[in-house]
């Protein structure tokens, strides 16, 4: 099943750090407006949080115009880099935690009695990847004396707060302020 692609405005433009990005239905254009930028630049094209293309050009080649017959500019974002430094970025939806999402077809299921933490993730028999979020939950939502975090399934918040996730007897369980809860396939009970 393919997810619907994000659609942005047909004509978009942004100028920062001496670089101007223009996106139209005809393609992409990069203009270098600062004469001090003379090294080759890298242009990355993103769609739905994934990098789908990379182009390089010298600052003297401005304006740098390009398009691709199979890429609709209204569904893409563009980022211009000078080495590791981002000079300008328009509508890039980059996934900040790619390790929290399934990385293709899973070949294993996590053993019983594995706990997050110390493990980073748990994979259940359906291929779902379980982990804890990054932001500490309020103290009143945590089990006494423990830190708690949002419970994530395939990188999406389940709405539960827990200090641990465990796989026990073939089931995913979490330890919350109310005690142990078990995943039913749709929610925790």
- Among candidate residues 91, 102, 142, the one with its CA nearest the CA of residue 124: 102
105 lies in the same domain as 74 = no
DSSP characters for 34-97? -TT--S-EEEEEEETTEEEEEEEE-GGG-SEEE--TT--GGG-EEEEEETTEEEEEES----S-
Pairing relationship of beta strands 77-82 and 149-153 according to DSSP bridges: unpaired
The answer to pTM > 0.85 is no
Residue at which a domain ends, from 34, 63, 90: 90
pLDDT digits (tens, 9 = 90+) for 79-105: 998 888 888 888 886 666 666 666 666
Number of domains in the chain: 2
Tell me whether residue 143 is in a domain: yes
pLDDT digits (tens, 9 = 90+) for 116-127: 999 989 988 888
């Amino acid at each position: 099943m393919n997810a619907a692609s994000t659609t942005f405005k047909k004509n978009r433009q942004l100028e920062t750090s001496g670089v101007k990005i223009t996106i139209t239905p005809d393609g992409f254009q990069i203009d270098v407006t600062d004469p001090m930028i003379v090294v080759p630049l890298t242009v990355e094209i993103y769609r739905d949080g994934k990098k789908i293309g990379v182009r390089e050009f010298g600052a003297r080649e401005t304006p740098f115009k390009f398009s691709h017959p199979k890429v609709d500019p209204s569904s893409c974002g563009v980022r211009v880099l000078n080495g590791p430094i981002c000079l300008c970025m328009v509508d890039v939806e980059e996934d900040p935690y790619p390790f929290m999402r399934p990385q293709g077809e899973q070949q294993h299921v996590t053993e019983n009695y594995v706990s997050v933490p110390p493990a980073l993730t748990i994979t259940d028999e359906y291929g779902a990847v379980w982990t804890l979020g990054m932001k500490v939950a309020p103290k009143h939502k945590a089990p006494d004396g423990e830190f708690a975090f949002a419970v994530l399934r395939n990188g999406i918040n389940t709405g539960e707060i827990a200090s641990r996730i465990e796989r026990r007897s073939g089931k995913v369980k979490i330890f919350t302020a109310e005690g142990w809860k078990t995943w039913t396939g749709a929610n925790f009970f």
